[in-house]
Amino acid sequence: MLVESKISQVNMQAVCQQTQNLWQKRQHKVFVFRANGDIKDIGQFYQSMAKQLGEIQMSGEDVTLGDRNVQRSGQLWSQVCYDPQFPNAYRHSLNAQPLHTDGSYVENYDCTFMYCIRNSTVGGETIFIDSQAIIDDLSTADPELLSQLTSEMMVHSRSGQTRKQKVLTALNDSWFVNWNYYCVSTDLNEQQKQLVSRFQHYLLNSPGIKANTIAVKLAPGDAVLFKDDQLLHGRNAFEATEVAQRHLYKCGLQVGKPLGQNQ
Ligand SMILES: [Fe+2]
Rounded Cα distance, 88 and 131, in Å: 28
Rounded Cα distance, 61 and 49, in Å: 20
- Read off the pLDDT of residues 244-257 as tens digits, 9 standing for 90 and up: 999 999 999 999 76
CA of 164 to the centre of ligand 1 (A): 19
Residue spans of alpha helices (H) in the chain: 12-23, 42-53, 131-141, 143-149, 190-205, 207-212
CA of 254 to the centre of ligand 1 (A): 16
For the chain, the domains span 1-256
CA of 98 to the centre of ligand 1 (A): 9
Q: Which of 228, 214, 198 is nearest to 138 (CA)?
A: 198
- Read off the pLDDT of residues 173-190 as tens digits, 9 standing for 90 and up: 899 999 999 999 999 999
CA of 40 to the centre of ligand 1 (A): 27
Rounded Cα distance, 150 and 117, in Å: 38
What kind of fold does domain 1-256 have according to CATH? Double-stranded beta-helix (3.60.130)
Per-residue pLDDT, 261: 40
Per-residue pLDDT, 248: 97
Rounded Cα distance, 110 and 91, in Å: 20
Per-residue pLDDT of the chain (263 residues; tens, 9 = 90+): 999 999 999 999 999 999 999 999 999 999 999 998 889 999 999 999 999 998 887 666 766 666 656 566 677 899 999 999 988 888 889 999 999 999 999 998 999 999 999 999 999 999 999 999 999 999 999 999 999 999 999 999 987 889 999 999 999 889 999 999 999 999 999 999 999 999 999 999 999 999 999 999 999 999 999 999 999 999 999 999 999 999 999 999 999 766 654 44
Rounded Cα distance, 53 and 226, in Å: 12
Per-residue pLDDT, 37: 85
The pTM for the full model equals 0.92
CA of 111 to the centre of ligand 1 (A): 10
Per-residue pLDDT, 76: 85
CA of 13 to the centre of ligand 1 (A): 26
Say which amino acid occupies 126: T
CA of 91 to the centre of ligand 1 (A): 8
Rounded Cα distance, 33 and 185, in Å: 35
CA of 217 to the centre of ligand 1 (A): 15
Per-residue pLDDT, 222: 98
CA of 102 to the centre of ligand 1 (A): 5
**E-strand spans in 62-134?**
78-81, 97-100, 111-119, 122-123, 126-130
CA of 68 to the centre of ligand 1 (A): 14
Return the number of other C-beta atoms located less than 10 Å from residue 197's C-beta: 11
CA of 159 to the centre of ligand 1 (A): 15
CA of 131 to the centre of ligand 1 (A): 15
Per-residue pLDDT, 258: 64
Residue 25, CA atoms < 13 Å, CB-side half-sphere: 11
